[in-house]
Amino acid sequence: MTVKLGVPSKGRLMEKTFEWFAKRGVTLSRTGSDREYAGAVDGIEGVTLVLLSAGEIPRELAAGRIHLGVTGTDLIHEKLPLWEQQVEPVEELGFGNADLVLAVPQGWVDVDLTDDLDAVAAMFRARHGFRLRIATKYHRLVREFLREAGVADYALVDSQGATEGTVANETAEAIADITSSGETLRANHLKVLSDGLILASQATLWRSRGAALDDADRIVLRALLERLG
Amino acid sequence: MALRDGFVAQGAVAVETPILQPAELLLDLYGEDIRARAYVTSDALRGEQMLRPDFTVPVVQMHMAHGAEPARYTYAGEVFRRQEDDPDRANEFLQVGYEVFDRVNPAAADAEVFALFAQAVAHLGLRAATGDIGILTSAVNGLRTTERRKAALRRHIWRPRRFRTLLDRFAGRADIPETRQALLDGTAVSHAPLIGLRGPSEIRERVDALRSDAAEPPISAVEMDGLDALLAVRETLPFAVQHLRDLAVDLPAIARAVSKMEARIEALSARGVDVDTLEFETSFGRTSMEYYDGFVFGFYAESRPDLPAIASGGRYDALTRRLGNGQEIPAVGGVLRPGLMVDLEVAT
């Protein structure tokens, strides 16, 4: 067997992850053609690179099919309700910073806190006959956050992309989405609630708590973690 | 089935309800939180459906659509609860229920339901807990403050923490957030174009409401102390009712609810329930599903604090109003969990 390391298969996240490992003497690379998702690991024996979509890495870690994986805190928390029992954070990688935030139109001068949002949701429902809609793809995290904040009379509507545009298009009244600089939000005339930070996320190296290891794997994993730590 | 037959012997009609329930209705009743507890599925024709998380809503619907009065129903079947936090909790289990729709004597109906459930679990030696959501609701309704504030408090009766935050604010015991103050002073402005469905008149309406609320006197210390004492009541029924009677001096609005409680105690006693040792807690039932609005009860296994209630129920008059298209009928009912009962029987 070998120790399996799951890494995002494309884009800046993959490049930054490769750089981060390279600085620690572990060279990750893609092999074969540009389109083939195969990879190689140099600098340490007994480790296999598995290229995956960042969104699938939580599931693979939880199932124990990979021993280590790089993905965002947001995806781990959203996809694994019992994440603390299934995975353990090894290192924060210092990039891929993104916050999951709750945002409303800038023109809502009367709304700055989740407390305001709750009051507005009640009035909105009374006036329009349906619950105030919040567009997001992070259903579980947003619902837990709003329950904790005591917000009622809202509905989550699924939005898998261009979420910032849903308010202007009148398919939602507020949104909960990932932002790094807030520029897209501002460009779409939205503002983040003062207490609307749902989760601060960054790319993180996780270790599966459930992946099987033989004695040889255990030695390799320890050596690898020492190198990375 | 033996349990259900027991309820049939009490004069209840055995009913069945569809497993798939329209999601929209349950969402309207419970809000988005129900999604964390119920499985949602969908098809292109009927849209979102939920695997029934309980029987009460479909049974009420059925009764409101074509039930004669008074009516007693019983059912036995599976309910489905999505579990996100605790893998040891069942996501599919049997429930056996008994529901009474009767407008003649609510106290007697409360006692009938409680006594039947107490009898069904008597051999398990469970701890019984009771409460009455109506006490707190009537205290809120009687506060000498604006209807808007009372509505805000009523809306959050089932969210104790949020309820407390609002109460402290209305009593002038919480700091006004900076941004709220700016809004009241008229210094909060935005030059961004207003987007979305919520229009300028709605924003003006809220700002006006906040300004007029800021001009209102706080809820008095006497009423606040009364509410605090009310929420802290937790003792056996005879002491609890005496205590609440005393509190009715400062909170006269609860007097009627306390009288109803006294009538219920008498009815329970007439049914052979030992009311002198029965526990009562004003806050009991405030964190469960939102439809209970009067008497509430639960039976718990003290040796197994990890288990949810083995049996539970309560009064839900308001739910019949919401589902009744202009009609309403006082209703009370409860459910048993035979699976948990068998576990306990095996253990003893």
Do A104 and A195 lie in one domain? The reply is yes
Q: Count chain A–chain B contacts defined by CB atoms under 8 A.
A: 103
Contact B79, B55 (CB under 8 A): yes
* B197 with A120: Cβ contact below 8 A: no
Please give the pLDDT value at position B189: 84
Residue A149: pLDDT band by 50, 70, 90 thresholds?
very high
Whole-number Å distance between alpha carbons of B82 and B210: 39
CA dihedral for B78, B109, B284, B126, sign (positive or negative): negative
Q: What are the tens digits of pLDDT across the range A12-32?
A: 999 999 999 999 999 999 887
Task: Provide the CATH number for the domain formed by B1-107+329-348 in this structure.
Answer: 3.30.930.10
Task: State the complex-level ipTM.
Answer: 0.88
Q: What per-residue confidence (pLDDT) applies to B34? A: 85
Which pLDDT value is given to residue B2? 84
- Residues of chain A contacting residue B29, judged by C-beta atoms under 8 Å apart: none
Count of structural domains within chain A:
2
Mutate to test the interface with B, among A82, A104, A110 (most CBs of B within 10 A): A110
| A167 shares contact with chain B (CB less than 8 Å) | yes
Q: What percentage of chain A reaches a pLDDT higher than 70?
A: 98
Rounded CA-CA distance A214/A195 in Å is 46
Asked if A56 and A111 sit in the same domain, the reply is no
- Which residues contact residue A150 at a Cβ distance below 8 angstroms, ignoring those fewer than 6 apart? A114, A115, A118, B156, B159, B161, B162, B165
pLDDT > 90 fraction of chain A, expressed in percent and rounded:
86
- pLDDT (tens place) for every residue of chain B, 348 residues total: 788 999 999 899 999 999 999 998 888 888 888 888 899 998 888 888 999 999 999 999 999 988 888 999 999 999 999 887 777 889 999 999 999 999 999 999 999 999 999 999 999 999 999 999 999 999 999 999 999 999 999 999 989 999 999 999 999 999 888 889 999 998 888 889 999 999 999 999 999 999 999 999 999 999 999 999 999 999 999 999 999 999 999 999 999 999 999 999 999 999 999 999 999 999 998 877 668 899 999 999 999 988 999 999 999 998 999 888 888 999 999 999 999 999 999 987
| DSSP reduced 3-state for B188 | coil
Domain boundaries, chain B: 1-107+329-348
Q: Do A55 and A14 belong to one domain? A: yes
Neighboring chain A residues of B190 at a CB cutoff of 8 Å: 106-109
Neighbours of B223 (CB within 10 A): 20
pLDDT at B188: 83
pLDDT at A100: 96
Of B35, B155, B203, the CB nearest to A109: B203
What's the pLDDT score for residue B289? 60
**Residue A34: per-residue pLDDT:** 67
- Is residue A50 within a helix (H) or strand (E), and if so which, with residue range? strand A47-52
Q: Based on the domain organization, do A208 and A181 belong to the same domain?
A: no
Q: Which of B29, B15, B11, B126 is nearest to B321 (CA)?
A: B29
Q: Which residues of A touch B87 (CB under 8 A)?
A: 82
pLDDT, position B247? 96
Q: Does A121 lie in the same domain as A68?
A: no
> Both A196 and A102 in a single domain?
yes
A 184-213 residues inside an 8 A Cβ radius of B: 188-189, 194
**Amino acid identity, position A87:** V
Which pairing describes strands B47-51 and B20-22: parallel, antiparallel, or unpaired?
Answer: antiparallel
Cβ <8 Å between B32 and A173:
no
A105, A119, A188 member nearest B206 (Cβ): A119
Q: Could you check whether the bond before residue B193 is cis, i.e. omega within 30 degrees of 0?
A: no
Which residue did the predictor score with more confidence, B33 or A151? A151
Report CA torsion sign: B205, B165, B133, B7. Answer: positive
**A139 and A221 belong to one structural domain:** no
pTM here is 0.88
Res B343: pLDDT: 93
The answer on pLDDT for A175 being more than 90 is yes
Instruction: CATH number of the domain at A88, please.
Output: 3.40.190.10
pLDDT higher than threshold 80 for residue A157: yes
**Dist CA B144 CA B95 (whole Å):** 43
Domain that holds residue A115: 98-200
Residue bearing tokens 């300028």: B200
Q: Are residues A42 and A105 in the same domain?
A: no
Q: Are residues A188 and A221 in the same domain?
A: no
